[in-house]
Amino acid sequence: MNKTYQWHGVNTVLVLLALSTGFICQSLQAQEDKIELAVLQKKIAELDVRFATTSIQTGVQAELALNESEIGQEQLRLWYLQAENDCYDKFFVTSCINDSKLLRRKLFAVLQRISVEAKAFQRKEHIDQIDADLQIKNTPVAQ
């Protein structure tokens, strides 16, 4: 007995097919938007090498390091949200979330070190500029 039900003149099978197609398209779009962990780890490792400890020597480098670190932190935050959401599909949810948190902490520590070093350089550069301005201001003018 194969029954089809009518709902306000619309075939229910067609409605269900259209809804499921919409969900599949959304799912595929979400998969395309996912941040790949391997790519993110590679980017962070490259930042770690490029902005190694005490390698920031100019204001331009500090600004660049700070911007790239902030972008990396945002990408890491988005990856973690995706990873946490994916964990709810697994049987050992807590273990999966804990593993994701541990990885996030390790990667975030690298980005935070870069950010702290860049901000410290910017503070030092700003203080040096203020000292130079004060020295010029306090220098007596020869007449």
Q: What is the pLDDT of residues 75-132, one digit of tens each?
A: 999 999 999 999 999 889 999 999 999 999 999 999 999 999 999 999 999 999 999 9
Is there a contact between 93 and 87 (Cβ–Cβ < 8 Å)?
yes
User: Whole domain around residue 25: which residue ranges?
Assistant: 1-33
- Considering the domain boundaries, does residue 5 fall inside one? yes
Residues 68 and 1 reside in one and the same domain:
no
**pTM for this entry:** 0.68
For 75-112, b/e burial (b = at least 16 CB within 10 A) is bbeebbebbeeebeeeeeeeebbeebeebbeebbebbe
Residues 28 and 41 reside in one and the same domain:
no
Q: What is the pLDDT of residues 10-66, one digit of tens each?
A: 444 333 334 444 434 444 344 445 789 999 999 999 999 999 998 999 999 999 999
- Considering the domain boundaries, does residue 143 fall inside one? no
Residues 77 and 105 reside in one and the same domain:
yes
Residues 54 and 122 reside in one and the same domain:
yes
Q: Which residues on neighbouring strands pair with residue 11, listed in sequence order?
A: 6
- Considering the domain boundaries, does residue 54 fall inside one? yes
Q: How many residues does the chain have?
A: 143
Domain count, the chain: 2
